[in-house]
Amino acid sequence: MNGMLELMHSVYAGASLALLAVMGSTLVRAILGPSAFDRVLAANMFGTKTVLLLSLLGFLSGRPDFLDIALVYALVNFLSTIAVLRFFEGRTQPLAPDTIPASDRSAHISPTEE
């Protein structure tokens, strides 16, 4: 019985470390990402990984209160992603040329098309 608890504890710890590595990779993409959409994607993914990390930390430290916070994080992450996308939709000026890298830009859709 105690062995099972030890096992689960180490599983939670290992999963937390792996999630931290995932978050690191996402952060690099958020800083580097050549286009604006890469950064929005990275921010969204960072939010969902934070939710998972918090749930794991809650189980690691034995406090189920953290799940309320995890739910709120999921919510505000979704809210900020949708807000960013509505911001893109609502712009009357065209996007700056370096927001989308030339390799991603399509030939027959111009950036000002709405």
Partner 1 sequence: METFLAWASTLCISIGVFLGITGAVGIFRLPNFFTRLHAASVTDSGCAFLLLFGLMLQSGFTVPTIKLCFILVFFLISSPTAAHALSKTALRSGAQPTPSPREDR
Partner 2 sequence: MELIIDITLLTFLGLTALAINRIDKLFCVIMLSGIYSLLCASLFVTMDAVDVAFTEAAVGTGIATVLLLSTIGATETEQRSAPRRPLFALLVVCATGAILVYGTMDMPAFGDPNAPIHQHVAPRYVQQSQQEVGSDNIVTSILSSYRGFDTLGETVVIFTAGLSVVGLIGFRGMQKFGDRQRAAGITRDEMEQHLVLRIVIKMFIPLILLFALYVQFHGDFGPGGGFQAGVIFASGFIFYTLMFGLDAAMRVVSPRTLSYIAALGVLLYGGVGIATMLMGGNYLDYDVLRHDPLHGQHLGIFLIELGVGTTVFSVMVLIFFAFSSRKGLRQ
What residue ranges bind partner 1 (CB under 8 A)? Answer: 1, 4, 7-8, 11-12, 14-15, 18-19, 21-22, 24-26, 28-29, 35, 37-38, 40-42, 44-45, 48-49, 51-52, 55-56, 58-59, 64, 67-68, 70-71, 74-75, 78, 81-82, 85, 88-89, 95, 100, 103-107, 109-111, 113-114
Whether 47 contacts 73, CB under 8 Å = yes
Contact partner at residue 62 from partner 2, partner 1, none, CB < 5 to 8 Å by partner kind: none
Please name the helix (run of DSSP H) or strand (run of DSSP E) that holds residue 6, with its range, or none: helix 2-32
53 binds partner 2 (CB under 8 A): yes
Contact partner at residue 97 from partner 2, partner 1, none, CB < 5 to 8 Å by partner kind: none
Give the integer Cα–Cα distance in Å for 16 and 30.
Answer: 21
Give the integer Cα–Cα distance in Å for 104 and 98.
Answer: 11
Torsion angles phi and psi, residue 28, rounded to 5: -60, -40
Give the integer Cα–Cα distance in Å for 62 and 43.
Answer: 28
- For the bound state, the minimum distance from the C-beta of residue 81 to partner 1, rounded and expressed in Å, comes to 5
